[in-house]
Amino acid sequence: MIFPPGDLYSDEPPLESSLHLQQMFLLLSCLNWLWKDRTDYFAAGNLTIYYSPEQRKSEDFRGPDFFVVLGAEQRPRKSWVLWEEGGQYPHVIVELLSESTANTDRGLKKQIYQDIFRTPNYFWFDPDTLEFEGFQLMNGTYEPIPTTELGWRWSEQLGLYLGIHDQQLRFFTPEGRLVPTPEEHAEAEGQRAESERQRNEQLAAKLRELGVDPDTI
């Protein structure tokens, strides 16, 4: 049997709109920030997964908008080539719906991810209409993941909730905290530092009113 080369480039078309592109990068940046100390996963967006043992690229490849493979070596890849990755399929897939892809994402792709990929968690989200669904593989069949009171869905694979926040799909910790982007984290840290500085200045001013030099304490 002749195997195709393992360094195939991704064969995916561009995402349909700026909303789709922003959403994909948002999921990637938040997960990579949260798991910044981990090296045992691979997360990517709009990257082709080649899963045929033969050279039938036109038939046997799919490109999820966002996917995560657990237990994988964290290194740059041109694509995810199954025969170079120990036959490992994604553990989590998120598709971003659009007018041209929605039927495929809800139908054909869902069937492929269920029956061939056996991906445990599959979600889809429409950045325009905010349609959000999620599925857990149970005995070989996708079953809907129930929502919390906030409309979030639990990803057993990631150990995180997925839910809509400010019209975007975001991750939430088991405790219900929003997983920030690196920029949001830096901004929050800056605000905390500024609040602390202001409290210290107020305390120092109060001590001076009482005749105490705060520098001597």
Same domain flag for 186 and 148: no
| Res 185 pLDDT > 80 | no
pLDDT tens digit string along 126-170?
999 999 999 999 999 999 999 999 999 999 999 999 999 999 999
Question: Which amino acid does the sequence have at 24?
Answer: M
Residue pair 46/95 in contact by the 8 Å Cβ criterion: no
142, part of any domain: yes
Per-residue pLDDT, averaged over 73-102, amounts to 93
Residue 169 corresponds to which tokens in the numbers above? 């799909």
Residue 5 counted as domain residue: no
User: Both 106 and 47 in a single domain?
Assistant: yes
Pair 130, 43 in one domain:
yes
**198-216 confidence digits (pLDDT tens):** 676 677 677 677 777 777 7
Same domain, 118 and 158: yes
Residues 92 and 34 reside in one and the same domain? yes
Provide φ and ψ at 184, rounded to 5°: -65, -40
Tell me which DSSP letter residue 74 carries.
-
pLDDT digits (tens, 9 = 90+) for 23-65: 999 999 999 999 999 999 999 999 999 998 675 555 678 999 9
CB 130 within 8 A of CB 167: yes
Per-residue confidence band for 21, with pLDDT thresholds at 50, 70 and 90: very high
State the sign of the Cα–Cα–Cα–Cα dihedral 69, 75, 76, 77. Answer: negative
Provide the residue range defining the domain that includes 34: 18-179
Instruction: Report how many domains make up the chain.
Output: 2
In a domain, 12, yes or no: no
- Within-domain flag for 10: no
Token pair recorded at residue 48: 């082709």
